[in-house]
C-alpha cells in the first residue's frame, strides 16, 4: 500500500514554526521504496537522513549554546565539487561581535532534529545560505525555505528590498528565479587547489599570537577597509569562537618590519576547502605586491591545516581584489549572482 500525503501546519514546542507532511497508512520506512530520500514518488518532506512517518520542516533561531553544532554541521557540508557556499569561516568572522549577536543572525531549517539548511544574515537585508548535499534538489524543502524568505512575518528577512545568496544549481536558487527574485549583485569566486606544491611562505609572514601582533593586525585591517569597526576586543572575541580552532590569523611585514597586510584563514577539516576572510593591505602600502604575498601565505597555512583548496569570493566590481588573488595563483570561477526581491516581487504562496 502506498502512503497518502496530507500537509498540515502547527506550532511546535517553544514557538518555533514548522510545516509537517504527515504520511498516513505507513507504519515503517521501506528502504526499497524508489527515491524516497529525494522526495519523489509523491512522498514529500523526506528527512535529511531518511524518511520518517511524520516529517516537519522547522525554522529556528539557534541558542548561542547551539552554535557549535551549527558550525559542525556546516563544516561537514563543505566539498570541492560544490559551487562556493556559506562556510564555517563566514560565521567565525562574524563571531567577533560575540556569540549572542551571531546566534541572532543565524537561521536553521531542520527535519526530525537534523539541520537541512543554514542561513546567515550578513546584514539586516542580506541572507547567505546553503543546504545539506543530500537535499540540494529537494523540492519540498525549497518551497518551505522560499516561503519563509518571502514572508517578513516569518522572521528571516524584512519587507522591502532584500537579497539572498544561495549556491547555484540548488532547487532553492531555481525556485527564487521562478518566483521573480531578480538577479542581484555579481560576485567572483576564486579557487586554488592545495593538493600540489604551494609557494613557500614569505619569512616576513607571522602567525598572530601575541597582544602586540593583535593590535598591529586590527590596525592594518582598519586602514585597509577604511573602518574603525575591528578592535582588539573584537579580535579576541573572534578567537574565542569554535571556528577559530581551525583558523590562523596572519600578519605580513615589509623589509623594515612594519605591519602591512593581514588575512585570516578558516579550515573546515581535512580534505575540505578552506576560506580566506578577511584580507587587507594597509592603505599606505598598496600596489607593492603585499596582497599577493599574503594570499600565498594564506594558501600555505590552509594546506598545513589539511585543507584541499583555498576559496575566496569578492564583489566583481572590486577588480583590483580579483587581480590580487589571480597574482597569487587563484583561478576565477563562474560569476555568481545574488537573488533580489523588491516591493513588486510576486509573493510565493505556501
Tell me the whole-structure pTM to 2 decimals: 0.85
Q: Among 49-53, 150-154, 243-247, 310-314, where is mean pLDDT lowest?
A: 49-53
Longest Cα–Cα distance in the chain: 78
- The dihedrals phi and psi of 232, each to the nearest 5 degrees, come to -60, -40
Name the pLDDT band for 180 (thresholds 50, 70, 90): confident
Q: Quote the CA–CA distance of 300 and 312 in Å, as a whole number.
A: 15
SS3 of 125-141: the string is CEEEEEECHHHCCCHHH
Predicted local confidence at residue 56, as pLDDT:
83
The average confidence (pLDDT) of the chain is 86
- Whether the per-residue pLDDT at 97 is higher than 50: the answer is yes
- Whether the per-residue pLDDT at 19 is higher than 60: the answer is no
- Whether the per-residue pLDDT at 161 is higher than 80: the answer is yes
Q: Which residues contact 160 (CB under 8 A, 6 or more apart)?
A: 125, 342, 343
C-alpha cell at 58: 522547522
Predicted local confidence at residue 343, as pLDDT:
73
Q: Give pLDDT tens digits for 182-198.
A: 999 999 999 999 987 77
Mean pLDDT for 56-68 is: 96
Q: Quote the CA–CA distance of 130 and 118 in Å, as a whole number.
A: 6
Predicted local confidence at residue 12, as pLDDT:
38
Q: Among 7-16, 22-31, 50-59, 149-158, where is mean pLDDT lowest?
A: 22-31
Predicted local confidence at residue 344, as pLDDT:
72
- Whether the per-residue pLDDT at 84 is higher than 80: the answer is yes
In the chain, the percentage of residues whose pLDDT exceeds 90 is 77
Q: Give pLDDT tens digits for 197-244.
A: 777 667 799 999 999 999 999 999 999 999 888 999 999 999 999 999
- Whether the per-residue pLDDT at 32 is higher than 60: the answer is no
Q: Check if 59-186+336-341 and 192-332 are the same fold.
A: yes
Superfamily of chain region 59-186+336-341: Gcn5-related N-acetyltransferase (GNAT) (3.40.630.30)
State the fold for domain 192-332: Aminopeptidase (3.40.630)
- Whether the per-residue pLDDT at 3 is higher than 90: the answer is no
Mean pLDDT for 142-159 is: 95
Predicted local confidence at residue 347, as pLDDT:
62
- Whether the per-residue pLDDT at 47 is higher than 70: the answer is no
Domain coordinates in residue numbering, the chain: 4-58, 59-186+336-341, 192-332
Which range, 21-25, 52-56, 152-156, is most confident? Answer: 152-156
Amino acid at each position: 500500500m502506498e502512503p497518502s500525503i496530507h500537509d498540515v501546519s502547527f506550532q511546535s514546542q517553544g514557538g518555533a514554526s514548522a510545516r509537517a507532511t504527515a504520511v498516513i497508512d505507513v507504519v515503517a520506512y521501506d528502504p526499497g521504496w524508489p527515491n524516497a530520500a529525494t522526495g519523489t514518488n509523491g512522498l514529500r518532506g523526506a528527512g535529511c537522513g531518511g524518511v520518517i512517518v511524520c516529517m516537519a520542516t522547522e525554522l529556528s533561531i539557534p541558542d548561542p549554546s547551539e552554535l557549535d553544532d551549527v558550525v559542525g554541521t556546516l563544516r561537514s557540508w563543505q566539498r570541492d565539487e560544490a559551487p562556493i557556499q556559506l562556510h564555517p569561516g563566514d560565521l567565525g568572522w562574524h563571531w567577533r561581535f560575540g556569540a549572542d549577536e551571531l546566534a541572532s543572525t543565524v537561521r536553521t531549517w531542520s527535519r526530525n532534529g537534523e539541520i537541512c539548511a543554514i542561513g546567515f544574515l550578513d546584514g539586516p537585508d542580506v541572507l547567505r545560505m546553503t543546504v545539506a548535499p543530500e537535499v540540494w534538489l529537494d523540492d519540498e524543502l525549497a518551497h518551505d525555505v522560499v516561503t519563509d524568505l518571502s514572508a517578513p512575518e516569518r522572521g528571516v528577512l524584512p519587507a522591502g528590498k532584500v537579497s539572498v545568496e544561495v549556491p547555484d544549481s540548488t532547487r532553492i536558487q531555481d525556485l527564487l528565479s521562478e518566483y521573480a527574485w531578480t538577479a542581484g549583485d555579481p560576485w567572483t569566486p576564486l579557487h586554488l587547489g592545495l593538493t600540489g606544491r604551494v609557494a613557500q611562505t614569505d619569512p616576513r609572514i607571522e602567525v598572530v599570537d601575541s597582544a602586540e601582533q593583535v593590535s598591529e593586525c586590527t590596525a592594518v585591517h582598519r586602514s585597509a577597509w577604511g573602518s574603525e569597526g575591528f578592535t582588539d576586543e573584537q579580535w579576541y572575541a573572534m578567537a574565542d569562537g569554535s571556528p577559530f580552532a581551525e583558523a590562523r590569523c596572519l600578519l605580513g611585514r615589509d623589509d623594515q618590519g612594519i605591519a602591512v597586510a593581514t588575512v585570516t584563514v578558516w579550515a573546515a577539516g581535512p580534505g575540505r576547502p578552506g576560506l580566506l576572510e578577511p584580507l587587507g593591505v594597509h592603505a599606505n602600502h598598496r600596489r607593492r605586491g603585499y596582497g599577493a604575498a599574503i594570499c600565498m601565505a594564506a594558501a600555505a597555512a590552509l594546506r598545513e591545516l589539511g585543507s584541499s583548496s583555498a576559496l575566496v569570493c569578492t564583489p566583481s566590481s572590486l577588480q583590483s581584489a580579483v587581480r590580487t588573488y589571480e597574482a597569487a595563483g587563484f583561478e576565477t570561477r563562474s560569476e555568481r549572482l545574488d537573488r533580489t526581491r523588491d516591493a513588486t516581487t510576486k509573493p510565493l504562496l505556501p
